[in-house]
Amino acid sequence: MTNYKIVHDSVHGSIRMQGVFLKLLEAPELQRLHSIHQLGLAYLVYPGANHTRFEHSLGTFSVAGRICSELGLGPEEASLVQCAALLHDVGHLPYSHTLEFVLHGQFGIDHAEISRRLIRGEQAILSAADRDIIGDNPSIAEILEKHGLSPKEVAGLLEGLVQVDGSQRTLAAEVGQTHFNSRRYLSQIISGPVDSDQLDYLKRDSHYTGVAYGVIDLDRLVSTLQIFNGDLVVDRGGLSAVEGMLVARALMFSAVYFHKTVRISELMLAKAVEQLGKEDIHQLHGMTDASLLAHLASKGDYCLRIATLLEYRRLFKKAYAIRASDLTPENWDKLEAMGDLKRRRSVEEDIARRAGVDPGDVILDVPSVELAISEPRISLTEVRVLDGDKIKMLPKISSIAASLQIRRAHEWALMVAAPAKEKESVAKAAERVLGL
């Protein structure tokens, strides 16, 4: 009899785990995700948002399995896809996307690259002290190989990179997938305009935050997915369901992921982590939310102060902001030049000096730049729709999709935050420095 376990999930119900999936589930790399909040510090605004990356990984695995079944994929393809779905977030740093910009600024990589390294066995998360307590554990690569799966192929499914073409972001179908020839649909099930990752996190995040905007018609979406010329496409009958998903994604970014107070708390944490130095930041992939806060506290000074403020929800306040709708195209170019981390910190120091406050008490947010790194799919609406025997791109047949291409997920183009007692002085200084 095959050994299996049933995991009861609050969103998708009972999920059956067996074989290689069960072994991966028990791996330290996945177990670590129990201690990482799915939505970073969003629980400071939405108290129910205490769900974890582990839950999301299970949910993505479940949705990917449903898609594989609906498409009629064989056991080999289905196993590759489901392993990639289960493992796609093992490289996340503490507090999920919160520190993505720091990681990119220091090392030029993102959490997906760390996930690929862990899957290929090129990186590990356990410290010597961890191994002394729990013993040696097979790596993800060793587990996959023992079950006849290629770590390189599983990691390759996470290489659905995004390229920017003008204002529209499109997935680069050929990058990293040459070993699959024309089977682009395999990676598109994991990362694409309509994928198992998004289908889970929208339902899950809506469920736990209590924000109804993320409600999607998962059953209809899955049932209308097809394979056409090597791509994952949506049948014309699923048009309304796809439009609903894209609207839900846009609204969840505005209401939850880029909520003003959530952003301020995340930027506070990110600025403190920057003080740790490159070597400490390099070790973040082995930490959890709690161990990161403890590590910050142990460093004293600014790091301790920020860790304590976050622990007791004593957050900085918005001091100054420029609305996205108020900027001209020329000013957008000037603004996005501040996306460079060193440039941004220089501007913060200038504002702090004029306001007569400590540089650590001024935080500048330019969300459009960070979104391009942490969630490049936000404006990706180029869903392939199968209409009869022809493929049509969704924005060509949907005014909703066309509008979402130019809609911004954040109300402000730029925001400056500071402690409540410093708001007025920082606001005046910011207006002099940043007035566009």
Q: Dig out the tokens for 336 from the structure.
A: 């996005």
Q: Give the Cα-Cα-Cα angle 307, 410, 254 (nearest 5 degrees).
A: 85
Backbone angles phi, psi at 15, to 5 degrees: -115, 120
Average pLDDT over residues 290-313: 95
β-pairing, 412-418 vs 317-323, is antiparallel
Residue-range domains of the chain with CATH: 4-258 (1.10.3210.10), 261-371+412-434 (no CATH)
Cβ within 8 Å of residue 392, ≥6 positions away: 384, 385
Transcribe 227-241 into DSSP letters. Answer: EETTEEEEEGGGHHH
The answer to whether the beta carbons of residues 268 and 315 sit under 8 Å apart is yes
How far is 127 from 130, CA to CA, in rounded Å?
5
In the prediction, which pLDDT does 62 show? 98
In the prediction, which pLDDT does 396 show? 92
The answer to whether the beta carbons of residues 154 and 177 sit under 8 Å apart is no
Cβ within 8 Å of residue 401, ≥6 positions away: 242, 243, 246, 381, 383, 394, 395
How far is 352 from 229, CA to CA, in rounded Å?
56
In the prediction, which pLDDT does 107 show? 72
In the prediction, which pLDDT does 106 show? 75
Cβ within 8 Å of residue 190, ≥6 positions away: 60, 64, 81, 84, 85, 88, 157, 158, 160, 196, 197
Q: Dig out the tokens for 111 from the structure.
A: 């959490």
Q: Dig out the tokens for 51 from the structure.
A: 């769900």
Percent of the chain past pLDDT 90, that is, above it, reads 66
CA count, 13 A, side-chain hemisphere, 411:
11
Backbone angles phi, psi at 381, to 5 degrees: -120, 10
In the prediction, which pLDDT does 372 show? 62
Average pLDDT over residues 325-336: 76
Question: Confidence band (pLDDT; 50, 70, 90) for 164?
Answer: very low
Cβ within 8 Å of residue 279, ≥6 positions away: none
**Cα of 54 vs its chain's centroid, Å:** 14
Highest mean pLDDT among 140-154, 270-284, 328-342: 140-154
How far is 124 from 118, CA to CA, in rounded Å?
6
Question: Confidence band (pLDDT; 50, 70, 90) for 367?
Answer: confident
Average pLDDT over residues 247-273: 93
Residue 186 burial by Cβ neighbours in a 10 Å radius (0-12, 13-18, 19+): buried
Question: Confidence band (pLDDT; 50, 70, 90) for 158?
Answer: very high
In the prediction, which pLDDT does 403 show? 87
What are the pLDDT digits (tens) for 89-122?
999 999 988 888 888 777 777 888 999 999 999 9
Average pLDDT over residues 163-183: 43
Q: Dig out the tokens for 264 from the structure.
A: 């301020």
The answer to whether the beta carbons of residues 343 and 337 sit under 8 Å apart is yes
Q: Dig out the tokens for 208 from the structure.
A: 């736990």
The answer to whether the beta carbons of residues 56 and 38 sit under 8 Å apart is yes
Average pLDDT over residues 155-176: 51
Average pLDDT over residues 147-172: 66
Highest mean pLDDT among 147-161, 206-220, 378-392: 206-220
pLDDT at 279 over 90: no
CB atoms within 10 A of CB 70: 14
In the prediction, which pLDDT does 7 show? 96
CB atoms within 10 A of CB 165: 9
β-pairing, 162-165 vs 317-323, is unpaired
Average pLDDT over residues 122-134: 89
Cβ within 8 Å of residue 321, ≥6 positions away: 412, 414, 415, 416
Stated as kind and residue range, the H or E segment containing 14 is strand 13-18
